[in-house]
Chain A
């Protein structure tokens, strides 16, 4: 009996296991190995040398890029969460069931278009001769250098993460027990105060996970920093491409990639621990 159940369970979990092994564990192991290889005459050769690690970790540019990426991704997570919350709140509490279904569908539509296209269209808005500066020109302002700024990069990150964050927040807000909100009102807790005293604590896990996704998406993004941020200041993703381009330094790129993976894992672990804190 026990054997049959485990065979049954295995049938369904095996594809997942194979997938994880093929596309996560093996590449990761390879990446780790790669980070110890050496490059001679623009050729990589298997080796066990810590030179890539000491070189990368010894460079100021690496730590600068690390700080920039961390700050931008964290900023994007906070900004996207703040912008998305009123939208998710309105969809889950103010709309009729019918209107809510439409709103959810509208939030899915951005995933239909390529992220790259959406970023390019921001260029049309932000460039010196772009729509925003032209319109500001009509009232005698500008032009302002909007493109190639950290702000523009952040805007790209928000574009990337916003629909997903709204959806994730939405699904945690929808499942809040409405009687908790009524109970708060019943105890002299006004509308806005209820949002902070009841809605946000009730949806905490979902809200933190939504912010975590915004962080993850932004942390590894290459498109927005290069096309909207102009590659300056450099992020880790840009640093990886630069490293591979200059002298076939794939092993050093692997060092950056591994550092990013470890950072993401740490951030994910800490935020999930924070999300579930005090819960039993």
Chain B
């Protein structure tokens, strides 16, 4: 990836009055990637997208598109088509007129733009609805119209602002694969804003996690899932158990962290002793035993307080004597040998290699 980024945010900040929506942000968006901006509401992800589309002006910093600063370019002079959460289809135009709109604005002749629009309707499998009103379409069909409308101009980049949030679960999954496939086939850079981890992780090449106007972590879904870099990310993903504590060295000089629930070994060196940090362990990497495991692994004793069956896996909830809650995800086969029962005590273990450290 030595290629120049398609978009770069350089120290970009956005303030609304006294409220800071985005704090000095640096972000490169690569040519042809599927990038997801993820975070809970108010984290600045939509503002970031809107600044890129020219719908908000940055208070500070420079946004570049293909190397050129676009800060002063009005929205209508940029080629950054966007798909809105509400889709923003024109109710007073027919389906095909909606798709033709952007071409018409570019001064393309009637016959040519009709042909191009028809091609895209065909591609999105909604050709039969060309002359319908928007109000006569289902949610999924509208989605496809909105995509066709933005893609008909064959842009370099497509911005999507939570476009699937109004769909039901099954349709959402189907549209995810439609989107991913479209992105792969066209090679268009997709910037996708979402609060949904499953959407971001299933589609994106890279995920940007934002919180309170700041980027917390950028990485592939695997990187972020396996090694959340900050406490916030670990919390937000909700897939790790978090043990706040203090770094120290154990008797043999190995790196460890002292937490309320005990002192646990770490893999490798992680900073100076006495420093505050949190240990994170993925809920899928925890083992459950009835007997105390052999030394060399980290272990903690905890009482089972709940269980939840979610399809192929089961989620078990435990509580340590010190009140820390621990979540473990196991397949049903893994649990077959255990006599799982509420209130019973178990030993939970994980290897130092599965211990990750995050700083606040």
Chain A residues within CB distance 8 Å of chain B: 177, 179-180, 182-191, 193, 197-198, 201-202, 204, 278-280
Q: Mark B89-131, 1 if CB is under 8 A from A, else 0.
A: 0111100000001100110000000000000000000000000
Contact A186:B75 (CB < 8 A) given known A280-B133, A280-B135: yes
Is B82 touching A186 in the complex (CB atoms < 8 A)?
A: yes
Is B76 touching A183 in the complex (CB atoms < 8 A)?
A: no
Q: For B136, give the chain A residue with the smallest CB separation.
A: A280
Contact A182:B88 (CB < 8 A) given known A188-B76, A190-B76, A280-B135: yes
Is A185 touching B75 in the complex (CB atoms < 8 A)?
A: yes
> Roughly how many angstroms separate A202 CA and B93 CA in the complex, as a whole number?
10
Taking the closest CB of chain B, its distance from the CB of A270, in whole angstroms, is 20
| A185 neighbours in B (Cβ, 8 Å) | 54-55, 74-76
> Roughly how many angstroms separate A160 CA and B232 CA in the complex, as a whole number?
63
Number of interface residues of B (CB under 8 A): 27
Is A186 touching B55 in the complex (CB atoms < 8 A)?
A: yes
| B75 neighbours in A (Cβ, 8 Å) | 182, 185-186
Taking the closest CB of chain B, its distance from the CB of A190, in whole angstroms, is 5
Confirm or deny: B86 has a beta carbon within 8 angstroms of a beta carbon on chain A: yes
Taking the closest CB of chain A, its distance from the CB of B269, in whole angstroms, is 50
Is B80 touching A278 in the complex (CB atoms < 8 A)?
A: no
Is B88 touching A179 in the complex (CB atoms < 8 A)?
A: yes
Confirm or deny: B84 has a beta carbon within 8 angstroms of a beta carbon on chain A: yes
> Roughly how many angstroms separate A190 CA and B88 CA in the complex, as a whole number?
17
A-B complex: 3 closest residue pairs judged by Cβ atoms: A183-B88, A187-B102, A185-B75
Is A198 touching B55 in the complex (CB atoms < 8 A)?
A: no
Q: Mark B58-94, 1 if CB is under 8 A from A, else 0.
A: 0000000000000000111101111010101011110
Is B53 touching A186 in the complex (CB atoms < 8 A)?
A: yes
Contact A179:B81 (CB < 8 A) given known A186-B75, A280-B135: no
Taking the closest CB of chain A, its distance from the CB of B153, in whole angstroms, is 8
Taking the closest CB of chain B, its distance from the CB of A273, in whole angstroms, is 16
23 pairs, A vs B, C-beta closer than 8 Å: A177-B88, A179-B86, A182-B55, A183-B82, A184-B101, A185-B76, A186-B80, A186-B82, A187-B81, A187-B101, A187-B105, A187-B153, A188-B77, A188-B102, A189-B76, A189-B101, A193-B105, A197-B101, A201-B93, A202-B90, A204-B92, A280-B133, A280-B136
Q: Among the listed B82, B86, B101, B102, which residue makes an inter-chain contact with A177, where contact means beta carbons less than 8 Å apart?
A: B86
| A189 neighbours in B (Cβ, 8 Å) | 76, 101, 105
The DSSP consensus for interface residues of chain B is loop
Apart from A182-B84, A185-B76, A189-B101, list 16 A-B contacts with CB within 8 A. Answer: A182-B88, A184-B76, A185-B54, A186-B75, A186-B76, A187-B76, A187-B101, A187-B105, A187-B149, A188-B102, A197-B101, A197-B105, A201-B90, A202-B91, A278-B92, A279-B92
Q: Among the listed B54, B74, B84, which residue makes an inter-chain contact with A179, where contact means beta carbons less than 8 Å apart?
A: B84
Q: Among the listed B81, B86, B106, B135, which residue makes an inter-chain contact with A186, where contact means beta carbons less than 8 Å apart?
A: B81
The DSSP consensus for interface residues of chain A is helix
| A180 neighbours in B (Cβ, 8 Å) | 88, 90
Interface centre among B74, B90, B136, B153 (most CB of A within 10 A): B90
> Roughly how many angstroms separate A190 CA and B77 CA in the complex, as a whole number?
8
| B106 neighbours in A (Cβ, 8 Å) | 188
> Roughly how many angstroms separate A201 CA and B133 CA in the complex, as a whole number?
14
| B102 neighbours in A (Cβ, 8 Å) | 187-188
Q: For A201, give the chain B residue with the smallest CB separation.
A: B92
Taking the closest CB of chain A, its distance from the CB of B145, in whole angstroms, is 12
| A198 neighbours in B (Cβ, 8 Å) | 90
Is A183 touching B105 in the complex (CB atoms < 8 A)?
A: no
| B76 neighbours in A (Cβ, 8 Å) | 184-191
Taking the closest CB of chain B, its distance from the CB of A231, in whole angstroms, is 44
> Roughly how many angstroms separate A279 CA and B93 CA in the complex, as a whole number?
10
Q: For A188, give the chain B residue with the smallest CB separation.
A: B105
| A188 neighbours in B (Cβ, 8 Å) | 76-77, 79, 102, 105-106
> Roughly how many angstroms separate A278 CA and B74 CA in the complex, as a whole number?
33
> Roughly how many angstroms separate A187 CA and B86 CA in the complex, as a whole number?
16
Q: For B85, give the chain A residue with the smallest CB separation.
A: A179
Taking the closest CB of chain B, its distance from the CB of A219, in whole angstroms, is 29
| A177 neighbours in B (Cβ, 8 Å) | 86, 88
Is A202 touching B92 in the complex (CB atoms < 8 A)?
A: yes
> Roughly how many angstroms separate A280 CA and B53 CA in the complex, as a whole number?
32
| B90 neighbours in A (Cβ, 8 Å) | 180, 183, 198, 201-202
| B86 neighbours in A (Cβ, 8 Å) | 177, 179
Taking the closest CB of chain A, its distance from the CB of B26, in whole angstroms, is 25
Q: For A280, give the chain B residue with the smallest CB separation.
A: B133
Q: For A189, give the chain B residue with the smallest CB separation.
A: B105
> Roughly how many angstroms separate A197 CA and B101 CA in the complex, as a whole number?
9
Interface centre among B53, B88, B93 (most CB of A within 10 A): B88
> Roughly how many angstroms separate A188 CA and B101 CA in the complex, as a whole number?
9
> Roughly how many angstroms separate A25 CA and B316 CA in the complex, as a whole number?
75
| B84 neighbours in A (Cβ, 8 Å) | 179, 182-183
Taking the closest CB of chain A, its distance from the CB of B77, in whole angstroms, is 8
